[in-house]
Homo-oligomer: A and B are copies of this chain.
Amino acid sequence: MVFFTTLDMLGTAAFAISGVLVAMEKRLDLFGVVIVAAVTAIGGGTLRDLLIGDVPVRWMADPRYLYLILATAAFAVLFQSRLRYLRRSLFLFDTLGIGLYTLVGIEKGLATGLSPLICVVLGTMTACFGGVIRDILCNEIPVIFRKEIYATACIAGGALYFVLLGAGLPEAYAYLAGIGAVILIRLLAVRFKIALPDIYRKRI
């Protein structure tokens, strides 16, 4: 449990900081920066909870998320000129975050009685849609629609979880393997600059 709580906190903080960075690039004021940080950190889970009807949504029942986000945003604003030294750590925490949140979303889908396909969609949404809402609030086309393997890693890790479950692996192992797969695919994709196949070549 401590392990997962730590992952969750690191992931939430990394998401909040990515929100601060995008918001500051757009020169938002302090309120805007905090809102965009919060939306990035909890937007995906909020959308998931709304769609399955699990309300009041999670961050309303447990205010610690908001405190963590406020503290992280304050830290990021205060040390804005030093954040680049943390770039590698932030990338790592973000990657841990999407791994964890994908599987958290899948578990919630299963608990709601949804099919594996929909569970994978829910998990990917949990991990990725905070960033989508962040970009929309900042008047950008969501970056995960344009570049890099990001959501695709979540989909693959989620699918692996169900494959392993189907193969008879105990739930806890499949869970960890799913998280690990998301993280590994994301790391490899960034390391080797792997992207989705280009769909814009002419096919005549």
Contacts and interface: CB of A to CB of B under 8 A. Distances in A.
Given A137-B142, A138-B141, A50 B50 contact: yes
Interface of A: 23-24, 26-33, 35-36, 46, 50-53, 55-57, 59-60, 63, 66, 77-81, 112, 114-115, 117-118, 121-122, 132, 136-142, 144-147, 151-152, 195-197, 199-200, 202-204
A49 B55 CA distance: 10
Given A55-B53, A114-B56, A114-B60, A78 B203 contact: yes
A18 to B, nearest CB: 16
**Residue among A27, A31, A144, A204 facing the most chain B CB atoms (10 A cut-off):** A31
B199 A30 contact: yes
Given A63-B115, A141-B138, A24 B199 contact: yes
5 closest A-B pairs (Cβ-Cβ)?
A32-B145, A53-B55, A30-B196, A28-B145, A139-B141
Given A32-B146, A81-B203, A151-B31, A53 B51 contact: no
A122 to B, nearest CB: 8
B32 A142 contact: yes
Contacts of A147: 29
Contact of A145 (B31, B117, B142): B31
A149 to B, nearest CB: 9
Nearest to A53: B55
A30 B197 contact: yes
Nearest to A203: B81
